[in-house]
Amino acid sequence: MSGIEAFDAVDLIRAKRDGHELDTPEIGWLVDAYTRGYVADEQMSAMTMAIFLNGMSRREIRDLTMAMIASGERMDFGGLGKPTSDKHSTGGVGDKITLPLMPLVASFGVAVPQLSGRGLGHTGGTLDKLESIPGWRADLTNEEMFAQLREVGGVICAAGSGLAPADKKLYALRDITGTVEAIPLIASSIMSKKIAEGTGALVLDVKFGSGAFLQDIDRSRELARTMVELGEDAGVATSALITNMNVPLGLTIGNANEVRESVEVLAGGGPADVRELTIALAREMLELAGVRDADVEAALDDGRAMDSWRAFVVAQGGDPDAAMPVAKETHTVVAERDGVLVEQQALPFGIAAWRLGAGRARKEDPVHHAAGIDLHAKPGDVVRKGEPLFTLLADEPARFARALDAVEGAYRIGEPGEPVLDGGPLIADRITR
């Protein structure tokens, strides 16, 4: 039967277009045929739109995820001699949690194989942030990754091309066809890579709000439930926290400035929201890995997590004591009157940081590591006329005008007692099987 295909892509597209379920062999063939180039981008574009409009059953999503895993290699950390636990965030503005979280969890003897990505658009990328550290490198071989997990306990690096190659191809297609937000496609994309990565436990930080991938909290819950089920079905202990991204996380948005803030958290300080979320996610990761009642706050405060951070940076070629990049130009916006900062929308501030050079519009664009925004006040803070609200950071002053346009109307000073528009508590829900 050489050269004869098991199915016809057009038949499968019509079936999904008309609201029918695809069976397991059909989904397996579709992913394989697309990965090897037999199914064309135009055909898969039609399929992703049919999925976006009609959804998929739980069984279909599981089949899609497993087919994407089967398109590449699977890693196995069974030989490490210690449990593994990982975290994935759906992304947001000022979300630097991976940086303090990985060394904190690793300081308890749990290996953290954190395969991370780069930013695109208003959401920052963990690797871009870490590359602000002189000498630090993101690309490791599998052998280097395993050795570092044994010796240091944690690694943050780029995912190799061998993990779920079908997802890499499909993600790029979704990005240009208006189907990024389809929950079956988001869930299978994230979980195919995480399951193929081989971690024993996984905690998902699923954002909602202004600066999140999915702004509606009910959609975020649906995504979290879908991913938790996928993980558990694959034998990975999985849970999710539903967290608030209506306002930027912490006081920094960018790359180098977010690394500085992460180091402050590792030193026992830092903004309260960054510390709170780091501690909550660490407890989840450790619990799922079998480490119960761990005093994670003490590990931040007594230097253990900082020691783990320094060892990790050195292991990947970086200098933890080196000076970080500093912006050549700054522009500070001050309060025009006395009052309370009642609003600070995450998405416009993320777009502003992107326009300053902290992010990229295309995957091949360079990132300016010193660019970004330093926030001097958060919603609920009392401010006085003339006091700084935020500072724009850039290497080129010509970037300030468009960044200021982005945040026009995105922050507001109100009267004492006026409701603060922050979307409620930082951690809204916890999802388990």
* CATH number for 47: 1.20.970.10
383 and 339 fall within a common domain:
yes
Q: pLDDT tier at 174 (50, 70, 90 boundaries)?
A: confident
263 and 404 fall within a common domain:
no
For the annotated catalytic residues, the residue numbers are 88, 167, 174, 189, 193
203 and 271 fall within a common domain:
yes
d(CA 308, CA 295): 16
50 and 138 fall within a common domain:
no
Statement: residue 72 has pLDDT above 70: yes
Residue-wise pLDDT tens digits, 331-374? 999 999 999 999 999 999 999 999 999 987 766 778 899 999 99
If we measure between CA atoms, which residue out of 337, 340, 269 comes closest to residue 303?
A: 269
Statement: residue 61 has pLDDT above 50: yes
- Segment 159-171 shows an average pLDDT of 86
CB 27 within 8 A of CB 63: yes
Last residue of a domain, one of 289, 321, 353: 321
Q: How many domains does the chain have?
A: 3
Write out 250-296 in H/E/C secondary structure: CCEEECHHHHHHHHHHHCCCCCHHHHHHHHHHHHHHHHHCCCCCCCH
- Segment 218-244 shows an average pLDDT of 97
d(CA 34, CA 48): 12
If we measure between CA atoms, which residue out of 421, 101, 430 comes closest to residue 286?
A: 101
The pLDDT value recorded for residue 1 is 40
Statement: residue 136 has pLDDT above 80: yes
The pLDDT value recorded for residue 121 is 65
Statement: residue 309 has pLDDT above 90: yes
Q: pLDDT tier at 260 (50, 70, 90 boundaries)?
A: very high
Domain that holds residue 340: 329-414
The pLDDT value recorded for residue 307 is 97
CB 335 within 8 A of CB 386: yes
d(CA 378, CA 289): 35
Residue-wise pLDDT tens digits, 79-118? 899 999 999 999 899 999 999 999 999 999 999 999 887 7
167 and 135 fall within a common domain:
yes
Strands of 382-383's sheet in order across: 382-383, 339-344, 411-414
Tokens of residue 92, six digits: 């947001």
The pLDDT value recorded for residue 151 is 95
237 and 381 fall within a common domain:
no
Cα dihedral 279, 285, 291, 297, rounded to 10, equals: -10
- Segment 273-281 shows an average pLDDT of 98
Question: Would you say residue 2 lies in a domain?
Answer: no
What is the pTM for the complete model shown? 0.94
Q: Which positions ≥6 away from 355 have C-beta within 8 Å? A: 399, 402, 403, 406
Q: pLDDT tier at 3 (50, 70, 90 boundaries)?
A: confident
